[in-house]
Amino acid sequence: MTSLPWARLARRTHFSCGHRYYSPQMSEEENRKTFGLCYSEHGHGHNYVLEAYLLGPIDPVTGMVINLMQVDEILKKVTSELDHRHLNFDVPAFAEQVPTTENIARYCYGRVLEELNQLQSPVQLSSVRLYENEDLWVDYGQL
Amino acid sequence: MANFNPPLTCQLTTRYRLSALHLLARPELSPEQNAQHFVHCGKLHGHEYGLEVTWEAEIDPRSGLCVQREKLNDLVEEKILKVFHKQKLNDIVSNTSGEFLAREFLTRLIREERGHSVVQVALQETHKNRFLCRKEDLEK
């Protein structure tokens, strides 16, 4: 049996939310020093862009690694848990950890992986990239 | 087959802007040879470079950061922007090609943070070209 050729792909989506850089484990002075302008009473917001990087064998019938509609469904499900919310107050995952770009990227990686595993498909998630804005982004996963 | 799972890694990239003059010319070449190699790049001109600096580290469990933004900004400001921004690059380094500059910038940033954590520089010269240098490339 010949093995199928593999390919990589990326799919992008976006969501908007508020967050505040604040750690209850730190004093006010340490919070201010660590987070600078991002430490404020109420926080601020971003238009995040999330990209999921996938890889897997190319299906010989469809010519696809995965149907992009399935990827969109997963990304929609994951980002709907964050979209138009204040992460510190409305998302349980960030009740205990600071919703930094790094932690949000790690959260998205974990959630996309969970959802992808439900498909029982050979497609793998290699990493995610989360843009806080066009000048700052985080890659998380198998880089 | 062994089930191999590479470790999960976190990289944060910040983009800066660097405006500078340069020209591509080698002093050991004749004017004709320089013109042949570098064409219009041999004339004094400038770019607003996009400089992307990538930092790799574990996410600190207390702060949720892999690097404090101010620390990275200060490092790039001190080592790159203060030296090169609004300058004629040929006055500072011997070769101002995008390939060389990306390598030069990464070398300067890594020297500051020995042992960790800047792992890549990407230099966008125009919207049509972008030069990448990874930490492991410096060994080659």
Q: How distant is the alpha carbon of residue B65 from its chain centre?
A: 23
Phi, psi of A94 (to 5 degrees): -110, 15
Query: Are the C-beta atoms of residues A140 and A126 closer than 8 Å to each other?
Result: no
Q: For chain A, what is the mean pLDDT? A: 94
Of A35, A100, A143, the CB nearest to B11: A143
Between B23 and A113, the more confident residue is A113
Domain hosting residue B130, numbered range: 11-139
DSSP-assigned letter for residue B17: E
Give A55-72 pLDDT, tens digit per residue: 999 999 999 999 999 999
Number of domains in chain B: 1
Tell me the domain boundaries of chain A. 6-141
In a domain, B4, yes or no: no
Query: Is B3 a domain residue?
Result: no
CATH assignment at residue B76: 3.30.479.10
d(CA A124, CA A127): 9
Provide ipTM, 2 decimals.
Answer: 0.91
Among residues A62, A63, A65, A108, which one has the least CA distance to residue A83?
Answer: A108
Q: Which residues, other chains included, contact A60 with Cβ-Cβ below 8 Å and sequence gap of 6+?
A: A4
DSSP H/E element including B35: helix B31-38
**Does B68 sit within 8 Å of A23, measured CB to CB?**
no
Smallest Cβ distance to B63: which of A34, A138, A140? A34
| B69 contact residues in A (CB cutoff 8 A) | 36, 38, 136
Instruction: Kindly state whether residue B57 falls inside one of the protein's structural domains.
Output: yes
Helix (H, G, I), strand (E, B) or coil at A105: helix
CATH number belonging to the domain at A6-141, selected among 3.40.720.10, 1.25.40.10, 3.30.479.10, 3.40.50.740: 3.30.479.10
The pLDDT value given to residue B117: 85
Q: What is the pLDDT of residues B70-128, one digit of tens each?
A: 999 999 999 999 999 999 999 999 999 999 999 999 999 987 555 568 999 999 999 99
